[in-house]
């Protein structure tokens, strides 16, 4: 059955504004159901959690439902879902509880800086996994020489936010686990682009951000609750010491959390299906991935045929994310030109600081990023390509 792209697009009110939204890797639009969930939470009345009255009980229920939804999305356990404002904030918080002076951490040059700096700034000894700048691959073999009995954590991305590279996280995790190290997998870019099974990937921690998959600006890190029990993050004295609550500082954005649940429900229902929400998510995200990669193959073929375009990376397994430069034009100029034609793309290093350094383009403004998510269609791709041909 073909991916029901018309129905999926119709669920997103913002898409009717006439722009081609190819900036999903920097944040997606949200479906009406997410807007409704957030508005309804406020309209119905919500209180702080743990109170005695119905509005407080509603917030208790919202938080519990959100943990269950995120767990379904990534294949984790609801009581291991840590919720917070975004991935970066949560990763800083967790990194300090996980590693410190005397430990070793392994980070990669493929990663967004949010899965690099929080680890390099723990005071642990840092070891770097290098990227092949031509293919954009992160070779697994190097990890054997990087991991040892002092390694506390291997931080690695499930997908690069600029090249789309999907490294072999399971193989890296196997090497980490053999040495008794933990894996902290950045799933922020990967999550919207296909089914996620954090267990199969060997992720001890899996980080994701709802605003990359149709939800509000909320981040989550998922881990085994038993593992979380072993960690002692900085926290206020009176705040709950239970897991996962002890990792959640301050008052949560309760209405937004209801939006997160609605986003997961939306993803699960993109294609008709039966079974548990987890089963429907796996089927729906597999269909979305096929849809994205089909369009992406056409986009890449066209970009490769344009002599003025340099496309970075050619990884074997990737998300539908293109990163390219156009000869004679700054990346920002290309993005401005496309914006005038109603085509939204990103330009710059996109916080892939180490990777753009390895590609040798960080100091010259990085490149242009055009990414596809489930709601993009052929018209979006055609408008991008047409815009590039009109660049003078
Ligand atoms: C791959 C990747 N990791 C981490 C982040 C940071 O996520 P957040 O904005 O939730 O802190 C981003 C944001 O663009 C990203 O693309």
- Give Cα separations from 125 to 88, 143, 155 (angstroms): 21, 15, 13
| Distance separating the N- and C-terminal Cα atoms of the chain | 41
Alpha helix locations (H) across 75-153?
A: 87-98, 117-120, 143-146
Mutation test residue for ligand 1: of 117, 155, 188, the one with most atoms within 8 Å of CB: 188
pLDDT, tens digit (0-9, with 9 covering 90-100), for 248-296: 999 999 999 999 999 999 999 999 999 999 999 999 999 999 999 999 9
pLDDT, tens digit (0-9, with 9 covering 90-100), for 340-383: 999 999 999 999 999 999 999 999 999 999 999 999 999 999 99
Whether the Cβ atoms of residue 189 and residue 319 lie closer than 8 Å to each other: yes
CA 114 to centroid of ligand 1, rounded, Å: 6
Indicate if ligand 1 lies below 6 Å from the C-beta of 333. no
Ligand 1 atom, smallest distance to 85 CA: 10
Mean pLDDT of the residues in the chain: 98
Q: How confident is the model at residue 387, as a pLDDT?
A: 98
Indicate if ligand 1 lies below 6 Å from the C-beta of 30. no
- Give Cα separations from 250 to 58, 84, 93, 235, 256 (angstroms): 18, 9, 13, 9, 15
pTM for the model stands at 0.98
Q: Closest by alpha carbon to 212, among 267, 294, 151?
A: 267
Which tokens is 274 given? 């039966």
Which tokens is 363 given? 């100091």
Query: Which residues contact residue 63 at a Cβ distance below 8 angstroms, ignoring those fewer than 6 apart?
Result: 49, 83, 252, 254, 257
- Looking at residues 120-138, what average pLDDT do you find? 98
CA 211 to centroid of ligand 1, rounded, Å: 10
Whether the Cβ atoms of residue 186 and residue 115 lie closer than 8 Å to each other: yes
CA 27 to centroid of ligand 1, rounded, Å: 9
Mutation test residue for ligand 1: of 189, 221, 354, 369, the one with most atoms within 8 Å of CB: 189
- Give Cα separations from 173 to 140, 158, 204 (angstroms): 10, 11, 9
Indicate if ligand 1 lies below 6 Å from the C-beta of 319. no
Whether the Cβ atoms of residue 349 and residue 356 lie closer than 8 Å to each other: yes
Whether the Cβ atoms of residue 46 and residue 59 lie closer than 8 Å to each other: yes
Residue with CA closest to ligand 1 atom 12: 188
Separation CA 277–CA 255 (nearest Å): 21
Mutation test residue for ligand 1: of 82, 161, 163, 191, the one with most atoms within 8 Å of CB: 161
pLDDT, tens digit (0-9, with 9 covering 90-100), for 299-348: 999 999 999 999 999 999 999 999 999 999 999 999 999 999 999 999 99
Indicate if ligand 1 lies below 6 Å from the C-beta of 209. yes
CA 248 to centroid of ligand 1, rounded, Å: 18
pLDDT, tens digit (0-9, with 9 covering 90-100), for 105-126: 999 999 999 999 999 999 999 9
Backbone angles phi, psi at 311, to 5 degrees: -100, 130
E strands of 172-230, at which residues?
Answer: 182-186, 205-209, 219-223
Q: How confident is the model at residue 1, as a pLDDT?
A: 73
H or E element in which residue 265 lies: helix 254-268
E strands of the chain, at which residues?
Answer: 20-21, 81-84, 104-108, 125-129, 151-157, 182-186, 205-209, 219-223, 309-311, 321-326, 343-344, 346-348, 367-371
Indicate if ligand 1 lies below 6 Å from the C-beta of 216. no
Separation CA 214–CA 242 (nearest Å): 30
Tokens 């375009």 — which residue? 309
Indicate if ligand 1 lies below 6 Å from the C-beta of 188. yes
């Amino acid at each position: 059955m073909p991916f029901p792209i018309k129905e999926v697009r119709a669920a997103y009110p913002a898409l009717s504004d006439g722009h081609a939204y190819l900036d999903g890797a920097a944040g997606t639009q949200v479906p009406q159901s997410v807007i409704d969930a957030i508005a309804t939470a406020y309209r119905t009345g919500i209180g702080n959690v743990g109170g005695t009255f119905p509005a407080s009980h509603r917030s208790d229920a919202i938080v519990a439902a959100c943990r269950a939804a995120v767990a379904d999305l990534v294949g984790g356990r609801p009581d291991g879902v840590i919720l917070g404002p975004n991935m970066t904030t949560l990763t800083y918080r967790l990194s300090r509880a996980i590693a410190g002076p005397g430990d070793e951490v392994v980070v990669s040059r493929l990663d967004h800086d949010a899965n690099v700096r929080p680890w390099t700034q723990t005071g642990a000894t840092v070891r770097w996994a290098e990227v092949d700048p031509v293919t954009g691959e992160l070779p697994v073999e190097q990890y054997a020489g990087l991991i040892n009995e002092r390694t506390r954590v291997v931080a690695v991305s499930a997908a690069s936010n600029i090249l789309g590279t999907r490294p072999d996280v399971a193989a890296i995790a196997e090497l980490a686990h053999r040495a008794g190290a933990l894996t902290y997998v950045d799933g922020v870019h990967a999550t919207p682009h296909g089914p996620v099974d954090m267990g199969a990937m060997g992720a001890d921690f899996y980080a994701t951000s709802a605003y990359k998959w149709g939800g509000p600006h909320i981040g989550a890190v998922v881990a085994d609750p038993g593992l979380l029990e072993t960690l002692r993050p900085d926290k206020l004295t009176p705040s709950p010491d239970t897991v996962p609550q002890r990792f959640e500082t301050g008052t949560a954005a309760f209405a937004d959390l209801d939006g997160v649940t609605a986003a997961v429900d939306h993803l699960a229902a993109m294609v008709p299906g039966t079974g548990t929400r987890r089963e429907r998510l796996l089927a729906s995200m597999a269909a979305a991935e096929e849809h994205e990669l089909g369009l992406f193959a056409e986009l890449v073929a066209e970009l490769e045929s344009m002599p003025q375009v340099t496309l970075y990376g050619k990884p074997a397994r990737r998300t539908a994310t293109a990163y390219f430069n156009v000869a004679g034009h700054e990346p920002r100029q290309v993005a401005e030109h496309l914006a005038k034609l109603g085509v939204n793309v990103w330009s710059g290093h996109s916080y892939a600081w180490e990777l753009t350094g390895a590609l040798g383009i960080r100091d010259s403004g990085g490149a242009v990023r055009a990414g596809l998510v489930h709601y993009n269609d052929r018209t979006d791709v055609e408008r991008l390509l047409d815009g590039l041909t009109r660049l003078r």
